[in-house]
Structure 1
Amino acid sequence: MSDGPATDAVGFAAGCGAAAAGTAKVDAARASAPTTAVVATARERAVGACGEGVDERPEEATLGVDRSVMKASLLFGPGWGSRDLFGLLQLTWRRRVYARVRTKVPRVGPGGQSRAVSIDRAPHAPVLRARPTIVHLDADAFFAAVEQHQRPSLRGRPVLVGGVGPRSVVATASYEARQYGARSAMPMEQARRLCPPSTVVVVPRFAAYSAYSARIMAALREVTELVEPVSIDEAFADVAGAVGPETDLRALAHRIRERARELSGLPVSLGLGRSKLVAKLASEAAKPGGVRVVGADDEDAFLLDLPVRALWGVGPVSAARLDELGVRTVADLRRQPLDTLLLVAGEAGGTNLYRIARGWDDRPVTTVRERKSAGAEHTFDTDLHGRAAIAAALDPVVDAALARLERHAVAARTVVVKVRLASFTTLTRSVTLPRPTADEGALRDAAHRALRLADVTEPVRLLGVAFHALSEHAQLMLPLGDEAAEAPAEPADAVPLPAPSPSGPVRATAANVAPGLDVATAADGRGWVVRVGDDGRVAVRFETARTGPGYQRWVDPDAEDLTLVEPLGPDGEPIRPVPPDDDA
């Protein structure tokens, strides 16, 4: 059946309201009406749902569809009619609504007034730099790489960094563990089932990771001052002002990579492009431990074959909608007209998809990043039951989030509470205050109000609190109102940040040690906890990056002087712990 008014009109109705579309199709199917009647019925329902503004089609098109229906009847037999027409329209309406609905199809705005989707402000190609002088550096499997660098016996073995409790998740999986399907943000128990028995699980050590991160960033800062850290293990740099027109950028990238390895002992991947978008995609393509330079002449060849999910701004929801249109690669995405993308992702999201499909990204590298949120979350060992228990469990999470807010010396206006149910369904609710505040009582009350808005009736496995709309200058608070902001889009699953390392020597016991922590005895020197036995003894492997693979033995903390000690830095010297940062 060829494209035409029947399908288009049903598509228009679907675009304006599912009910209008459904009844139009059912009515047409029941009546086995001629195609012209199908067009009239569908358009009438569309106008009823949306108001005037549905695109008209020429009568010649209607005649063409009539001929197509007649041909289909000859092909499939005289019985081809209501049921087949309904099924065919049902299969094609989504594609038609995306491909045929234009800006004349109105959206219903406040007060019932219709407004058309505007594409008059179609984005124009930005003027990008001529050479690929934006660098994206990414430390490969960073947490796990630090552990393998400091603990020689872990090299070449699957390593999982994360919590050790029953509800813990993976913060980082080494490349050896990824070969078995383990990945970041996966439940630890699932990752352990996928990996072989030789896999080692260790808890995160933020102080060590911070020290290694500083060394890696130093390799970039030796070349340019324009370095923008994105997280603890990746950064952008703009080297345009540090190179000449004849500078070999590929050779420069290799020098940065080798310098980062020299300073930190870790492998890093580098991507160079004319924009942040292309540079980041290039570093992904260079993993592990490689260099990829994408110049102006290579951009299309590099971008078009990439999966659409590789692009910034394409999350699971957008990807699913694009997949319905057959959009699976960047090339597929680039072929879509702007109005189709506006329907899929909204005005801002659709415009962004249109731009990134063409590699348009003129964001500069900035040395100061504005903090957007501060928060904390906690996964419970057993599910929480009952509103009172859930509300009581929220307070320690609020305390942790408030501590981060205080450390960054900012105030917040919006409080978001995240609730993950035992079924893994995630709810988010938010409360926006009249003005930014750092008052703990006001922020705690807002968090509990947001929790009540979630109306939780099922068991809970995780609670999170995040403060948004941050401000450095808190204004005088007025009495709390009772307005509630719309719940924000579901944030990406976050891995709980590691606790800071102990400050100074602390006597180790079975209660305060965990796999991966640094310990020492007077007789054996430094080592790390491999596991804790049921009898309270601790298995310790005594080794450092300088000693090579060491020996392992069981230590009884009650009988021997076993102490928790500070981690070592890349230079082999003990480092001063620092509290975890929200961006890590």
Structure 2
Amino acid sequence: MFSDWPRCIVCVDMNAFFASVEQLLHPDIRGKPLAITNGHHGSCIITSSYAARAYGVKTGMPLSHARLLCPHLIQMPARGSVYETYSKQLMRLLHDRFTPDIEVFSVDEAFLDMSRVYHRYRTPRILAHAIRDAVCQQLSLPCSVGISGDKTTAKYAAKCHKPMGVTVIEPMVAERILAPVAVSELCGIGPRTTRYLSQFGGVNCGSVRRIPVSMLRKKFGIKGQRLWLMCAGRDPDCVRAYLKPAQTMGHSKILPPGVNSAARLMAYLDAMVFKLAYRMQLQPYYAPEFFCKIAFAQGAVAYQLNLPQPTNQYAVLSQWMKALVPHVPIRSMVRRVQINAASLTQCVQRDLLEDEYLSSQSPVDQLVAHVNARFGRSTIMPARLTHLLERIQSTNVISPSWKGGVPNPGRQTIWD
């Protein structure tokens, strides 16, 4: 610990992580503008290299627009399993060399609590450089490091001087440094919260602190008090070095141009529920609630399925899609689809009076789940989805196994 620091929180943020990994593995594209998309046919940019960002290419931008800004842009498909491997190496390095108090915040970002660790670093800046240099030497990947007395300020510091930046904000001056910062720059504060705060003059952290805490508590509950403290550089949230049980699981996909018919929409929704059911059976997880959101060029519609008994069966979800799609008002091109399972549980209390079909697997479903678990997703799949095979596989999410904390017997984490 450092003198006069109640806590020492470090945020390690990898720079253009997916693109940096691809350039590490492909030396011929290092330093060149690179965009990562969901598969070879992906139309939306997941992330891009800093050389591409210099041309104005941004995450979430359509690939066609990005090519107008940067005609020589290189496109590569995302490879979730590769990024997961490097993420596990990163988290283990931080855990083993610096502190066991580590919170894996995302696949390319982590918080470290150095408050209880006896270390040899005389100043926070020396510590930050040591962490950055260790990541660069061990993984050959760039990262930025922010250090402060709380998580919110440390995260803001980590993005101040990208790439390869080191920023230290001392706790005693955090309030003054954050005062002119737009409140939307803080992690976890979205557009709706920003609009609400702006009604009372809360456009930056300094002006939010002038809003009575009682008003924020009335609107947001206990989170309102934390919001006020975040803007003051005193975020009370602690580094959580454990794996929280999943509450939801889902898939979303930005569709290619031209999806404007019920048949094409049904094909993509059917593929999404197949992927979701596969992931749920792999854990295994069951859910009594499912949500479907369909976004168009203008507007969106949402649907909900409530079941008397939790399930993870593809047949149940597929039947829901078949009943749902004919009633979807398709007035323009479909831009995005999303399927989510909520209120996840890993055990099911069967009701003798309810339909056993919801929770029990047929022998065929059990075989499909077993083969896919052993040989990879989509090894066996419904024949009607084979024409979407490449698109289905290209949009597989990164497994949540990269996420975890201290070793926890009986739970799969990054240490397994």
Report the TM range for the smaller structure's normalisation: 0.7 to 0.9
Q: Is the 8 A contact 2:9 2:147 kept in 1?
A: yes
- The equivalent position to 1:150 in structure 2, one of 25, 31, 42, is 25
- The equivalent position to 1:580 in structure 2, one of 383, 387, 398, is 398
Q: Residue 225 of structure 1 corresponds to which residue in structure 2?
A: 100
Deviation at 1:348, TM superposition (A): 5.8
Q: What SS is found at the alignment partner of 1:416?
A: strand
Q: Which amino acid aligns with 1:191?
A: A
Superposed CA offset, 1:313-350 (max 9, x none) = 3212222343344432111111122355468x554664
- The equivalent position to 1:354 in structure 2, one of 228, 231, 250, is 228
Q: Residue 242 of structure 1 corresponds to which residue in structure 2?
A: 117
Structure 2, unpaired ranges of 5+ = 357-375, 380-388, 403-416
1:185 aligns with 2:3: no
Structure 1, unpaired ranges of 5+ = 1-128, 481-499, 504-511, 518-577
Question: For residues 243 and 150 of structure 1, do their structure 2 counterparts lie closer, same or farther at Cα, with a shift above 3 Å needed?
Answer: same
1:416 aligns with 2:291: yes
Deviation at 1:376, TM superposition (A): 1.9
Q: Is the 8 A contact 2:12 2:143 kept in 1?
A: yes
Q: What SS is found at the alignment partner of 2:160?
A: helix
Relative to structure 2, which stretch is displaced further, 264-273 or 434-443?
A: 434-443
Cα distance in 1 for partners of 2:66, 2:84 equals: 25
1:305 aligns with 2:180: yes
1:203 aligns with 2:95: no
- The equivalent position to 1:377 in structure 2, one of 245, 249, 252, is 252
Deviation at 1:258, TM superposition (A): 0.9
- The equivalent position to 1:292 in structure 2, one of 143, 167, 187, is 167
Q: Which amino acid aligns with 2:399?
A: D
Question: For residues 435 and 292 of structure 1, do their structure 2 counterparts lie closer, same or farther at Cα, with a shift above 3 Å needed?
Answer: farther
Superposed CA offset, 1:149-198 (max 9, x none) = 22223222211111466761111111121122211122111122222x23
- Structure number with the bigger relative contact order (C-alpha 8 A, sep ≥ 6) is 2
1:366 aligns with 2:184: no
Q: Residue 176 of structure 1 corresponds to which residue in structure 2?
A: 51
Cα distance in 2 for partners of 1:349, 1:319 equals: 14
Cα distance in 2 for partners of 1:388, 1:408 equals: 31
Q: Is the 8 A contact 2:112 2:239 kept in 1?
A: no
Q: Residue 115 of structure 1 corresponds to which residue in structure 2?
A: none
- The equivalent position to 2:86 in structure 1, one of 212, 225, 244, is 212
Deviation at 1:213, TM superposition (A): 1.8
Q: What SS is found at the alignment partner of 2:255?
A: strand
Q: Which structure 2 residues correspond to residues 496-515 of structure 1 after superposition, within 5 A?
A: none
1:429 aligns with 2:247: no
Q: Which amino acid aligns with 1:390?
A: L
Q: What SS is found at the alignment partner of 1:285?
A: coil
Length-normalised TM-score, structure 2: 0.76
1:329 aligns with 2:204: yes
Q: Residue 259 of structure 1 corresponds to which residue in structure 2?
A: 134
Cα distance in 1 for partners of 2:209, 2:36 equals: 39
Aligned residues: 365
Question: For residues 245 and 297 of structure 1, do their structure 2 counterparts lie closer, same or farther at Cα, with a shift above 3 Å needed?
Answer: farther
Question: For residues 473 and 146 of structure 1, do their structure 2 counterparts lie closer, same or farther at Cα, with a shift above 3 Å needed?
Answer: same
Cα distance in 2 for partners of 1:332, 1:179 equals: 33
Deviation at 1:467, TM superposition (A): 1.2
- The equivalent position to 1:464 in structure 2, one of 311, 321, 338, is 338
Q: What SS is found at the alignment partner of 2:137?
A: helix
1:439 aligns with 2:298: no
Superposed CA offset, 1:415-435 (max 9, x none) = 111212133x33333233334
Question: For residues 131 and 450 of structure 1, do their structure 2 counterparts lie closer, same or farther at Cα, with a shift above 3 Å needed?
Answer: farther
Superposed CA offset, 1:496-524 (max 9, x none) = xxxx8999xxxxxxxx999xx9xxxxxxx
Q: Which amino acid aligns with 2:30?
A: R
Q: Residue 136 of structure 1 corresponds to which residue in structure 2?
A: 11
Q: Which amino acid aligns with 1:141?
A: A
Superposed CA offset, 1:469-519 (max 9, x none) = 111212326459xxxxxxxxxxxxxxxxxxx8999xxxxxxxx999xx9xx
Q: Is the 8 A contact 1:269 1:288 kept in 2?
A: yes
Cα distance in 2 for partners of 1:131, 1:379 equals: 45
Cα distance in 2 for partners of 1:205, 1:399 equals: 20
Q: Which structure 2 residues correspond to residues 470-549 of structure 1 after superposition, within 5 A?
A: 470-476=344-350, 478=354
Cα distance in 2 for partners of 1:315, 1:403 equals: 32
Cα distance in 2 for partners of 1:167, 1:202 equals: 9
Relative to structure 2, which stretch is displaced further, 258-267 or 311-320?
A: 311-320
Deviation at 1:264, TM superposition (A): 0.7
Q: What SS is found at the alignment partner of 2:167?
A: strand
Question: For residues 141 and 394 of structure 1, do their structure 2 counterparts lie closer, same or farther at Cα, with a shift above 3 Å needed?
Answer: same
Q: Residue 413 of structure 2 corresponds to which residue in structure 1?
A: none
Cα distance in 1 for partners of 2:321, 2:249 equals: 13
Cα distance in 1 for partners of 2:113, 2:264 equals: 51
Larger radius of gyration: 1
Question: For residues 247 and 408 of structure 1, do their structure 2 counterparts lie closer, same or farther at Cα, with a shift above 3 Å needed?
Answer: farther
Deviation at 1:456, TM superposition (A): 4.8
Q: Is the 8 A contact 1:138 1:233 kept in 2?
A: yes
Question: For residues 339 and 297 of structure 1, do their structure 2 counterparts lie closer, same or farther at Cα, with a shift above 3 Å needed?
Answer: closer
Relative to structure 2, which stretch is displaced further, 451-460 or 205-214?
A: 451-460
* Cα RMSD for the two superposed structures: 3.5
Q: What SS is found at the alignment partner of 2:398?
A: coil
Question: For residues 346 and 583 of structure 1, do their structure 2 counterparts lie closer, same or farther at Cα, with a shift above 3 Å needed?
Answer: farther
Q: What SS is found at the alignment partner of 2:294?
A: strand
Question: For residues 181 and 322 of structure 1, do their structure 2 counterparts lie closer, same or farther at Cα, with a shift above 3 Å needed?
Answer: farther
Q: Is the 8 A contact 1:144 1:172 kept in 2?
A: yes
Q: Is the 8 A contact 1:162 1:170 kept in 2?
A: yes
Q: Which amino acid aligns with 1:580?
A: I
Q: Residue 318 of structure 1 corresponds to which residue in structure 2?
A: 193
Superposed CA offset, 1:102-146 (max 9, x none) = xxxxxxxxxxxxxxxxxxxxxxxxxxx944422211110101111
